[in-house]
Amino acid sequence: MSLYAPSSPHFHNNNSVTKIMLQVLYALVPGILIYIYLFGFGVAINILLAIVTALGCEAIMLAMRKRPIAPFITDGSAVITGVLLALSIPSIAPWWIIVLGTAFAIIIAKHLYGGLGYNPFNPAMVGYAMLLISYPKQMTQWPQSDASIGFTQSLELIFSDNASSQALADAVSGATPLDYLKNQLGLSRDIPDIMANSEAFGIFGGSGFEWVSIAFLAGGLWLIKKKVIHWHIPAAMITALSAIALVFYAIDSNQYASPIFHIFSGATLLGAFFIATDPVSAATTAKGKIIYGACIGLLTYIIRTWGGFPDAIAFAVLLMNMSAPTIDYYTKPKTYGHK
């Protein structure tokens, strides 16, 4: 008689990668709903396309890499990559943008580096960076919140490529508030003037986007409460971004936007709670996470204010992904009983 004799412990709390990823998806739902409410169904169509592409690419890559497909296809990580990318691109971008970006993220950024757990860079952000650099026009045509795009219009914008679709895209889109602000500052106008005379700005951030951001903030706080993510990265990122923004805002509020504007514009809150917190590519020690988050906050401000791109979350995250192993190395916590 030989009994089943595994190594201890014999208990497990039944947590799983799938559960974690599902919770992250749940936390995104309020933001997505508000996004749809304010900007039409484009984002929903993009999310759907992203999920289908992500799962397809994941399955193909797993098969090619001779890995078991079932446990990995159901882990939810590919779905999250797709959804985050869909939330990062303009919701009226043509269909092939999200398909190309998601495929690039899953195949190149994830599986060529070894798949789940082994990718040094956040796959969604790699996909985003590739798209932004390769297709700047499609990637900067954002819908306006007051455009009230219907479902059929969304379909037309995304799937057809004729002249009427082009005209429609021009009619409903514009620059993002961050982009607009940057351009106008370049024309030597000052911020109060720019904000007062444009529809792009809302109460404390970009018009419409600010409400989506607040929903992401709520989802993120729920994730912290559920212990799916740690507070360190979002807190450090938001604090650092606010601090540096406050310094320059205090120096010259005509040239530099307020911390509140920075927090509620662009992808700041989506990035802080959902992108920078991707555990695989982030720092893992407590101190390391604070440094990592703070540096993302600072880099975001620097690139937004003085760099060539209006938003900067993707680049800030990718730059810090590179630094994560080094940060971890120098922030090893003190072990019990050591001095």
Partner 1 sequence: MLGKLFQFKGGVRLPYHKEISTTLAVETADIPRRLVLPMSQHIGSPAKPVVESGQYVLKGEKIAQADGYVSAPVHAPTSGLIEDIGDYPLPHPSGMLAQCIVIKPDGKDEWITLTGHSGDYKQLDPSLLRNMIRSAGIVGLGGAGFPTAIKHNPGPDRTINTLILNGAECEPYITCDDMLMQDKAREIICGLLITKHALQAKHCVIAIEDNKPQAISRMQQAVDEFGNSQIEVAVIPTLYPAGSEKQLIFTITGKEIPSNGLPFHIGVVCQNIGTTAAVYRAINHGEPLISRYVTITGDVKQPRNLEVLFGTSVNDLIEQCGGSTADIQRLIIGGAMMGFAMQQTDIPVIKTTNCILVDAGQSKDLQKHKYTMPCIRCGSCADVCPINLLPQNLYWFSKAQELDRIQEYDIFDCIECGCCDYVCPSQIPLVQYYRFAKSEIWKREREQEKSDNARKRHEFHLFRIERDKAEKAEKLRLKKEALKLKEKAKEKGADDKAKSTIKETAPKNAAILAAVARAKAKKEQQKIKPKNTDDLTESQQKLVKEIDERRAKQRNIKSTGDKRKPDEKE
Q: Does 323 sit near partner 1 (CB under 8 A)?
A: no
**Which CB sits closer to partner 1, 56 or 120?**
120
Q: Does 162 sit near partner 1 (CB under 8 A)?
A: no
- The torsion defined by the Cα of 23, 127, 97 and 29, in degrees rounded to 10, comes to 10
**Which CB sits closer to partner 1, 198 or 285?**
285
Q: Is the dihedral of CA 30, 31, 34, 39 positive or negative?
A: negative
Taking the CA of residue 336 as centre, how many other CA atoms within 13 Å lie in the half-sphere pointing to its CB? 0
Q: Does 332 sit near partner 1 (CB under 8 A)?
A: yes
DSSP-derived secondary structure letter, 201: B
Range in contact with partner 1 (rule: CB under 8 A) among 10-18, 54-62, 103-111, 299-307: 10-18
H-helix segments, 160-270 = 163-172, 177-186, 191-196, 209-225, 232-251, 259-264, 268-270
Nearest in space to 297 (alpha carbons), one of 317, 282, 280: 317
DSSP 215-234: HHHHHHHHHHHTTSS-SHHH
Closest distance of CB 19 from partner 1, Å: 7
Closest distance of CB 326 from partner 1, Å: 14
Residues 6+ apart with CB under 8 A from 237: 271, 272, 276, 293, 294, 296, 297, 300
Residue of 66, 68, 203, 306 interacting with partner 1 (CB under 8 A) = 68
Say how far apart CA 41 and CA 153 lie, in whole Å. Answer: 9
Residue of 49, 57, 79, 116 interacting with partner 1 (CB under 8 A) = 116
Q: Does 13 sit near partner 1 (CB under 8 A)?
A: yes
Closest distance of CB 327 from partner 1, Å: 13
Residues 6+ apart with CB under 8 A from 153: 40, 168, 172
Closest distance of CB 328 from partner 1, Å: 8
Quickly tell me which residue has 């306006």 as its tokens: 144
**Which CB sits closer to partner 1, 23 or 176?**
23
- The two tokens of residue 48 are 């759907």
Say how far apart CA 212 and CA 34 lie, in whole Å. Answer: 6
Q: Does 152 sit near partner 1 (CB under 8 A)?
A: no
DSSP-derived secondary structure letter, 274: I
Closest distance of CB 296 from partner 1, Å: 17
**Which CB sits closer to partner 1, 23 or 300?**
23
Closest distance of CB 277 from partner 1, Å: 10
Range in contact with partner 1 (rule: CB under 8 A) among 72-80, 179-187, 218-226, 240-248: 72-80
Task: Give the per-residue contact string, 193-232, with partner 1 (x = CB under 8 A; - = no).
Answer: ----------------------------------x--x--
Site for partner 1 in 247-286 (CB under 8 A): 279-280, 282, 284-286
CB 50 within 8 A of CB 85: yes
**Which CB sits closer to partner 1, 1 or 203?**
1
Range in contact with partner 1 (rule: CB under 8 A) among 102-110, 111-119, 174-182, 293-301: 111-119
Closest distance of CB 235 from partner 1, Å: 15
Say how far apart CA 216 and CA 158 lie, in whole Å. Answer: 25
Q: Does 66 sit near partner 1 (CB under 8 A)?
A: no
- Binding residues for partner 1 (CB under 8 A): 1-13, 15-17, 19-20, 68, 71-72, 75, 77, 115-118, 227, 230, 279-280, 282, 284-286, 328, 332-338
